[in-house]
Amino acid sequence: MKKTIALVAHDNKKADLVEWCDFNKGTLARHTLYATGGTGKKIIDKTGLNVNLLKDGSHGGDMEIGALIVNEKLDYLIFFWDPLEALPHDVDVKALLRIAVLYNVPTACNRATADLIISSPLFQNGQYSRNKCAHEK
């Protein structure tokens, strides 16, 4: 079953996410991908994957992903963020992570967790469907 996955990375983590996408491009190619502008362009250049580009994170891309979540159009969030670097749009980043948790969207904030998600039988067989939270019922 085709899933929708958002791919986001802070500047210091972009190379790691691009490498992860390149390693997993066979699997990722079977799904619908979204990415914030700068991250998505780097993924496309390296992997050739079909990625729907949103605005850069600092220009509203994080909020666009949040809108996908609240409109139930996103199944997974892969967001490699840098805990050591404060950014001017940290409020947007925190809002995105908060909304992902609120809507029970599986979220990977580092490569180890992304590896566990993409290699899970629940992901691989395409039959995983997240439980809706109490506020959604």
Is 50 within 8 Å of 33 (Cβ atoms)?
A: yes
Residue in 91, 104, 101, 108 with CA at minimum distance from that of residue 132: 104
Sheet hosting strand 107-108, strand order edge to edge: 51-53, 32-35, 4-9, 76-80, 107-108
DSSP E strand stretches across the chain: 4-9, 32-35, 51-53, 76-80, 107-108
The single residue of 16, 45, 62, 115 carrying the catalytic annotation is 62
92 is known as an active-site residue: no
Please report how the helices 14-23 and 111-119 are oriented relative to each other, as an axis angle in degrees rounded to 10: 20
Q: Which residues are catalytic?
A: 62
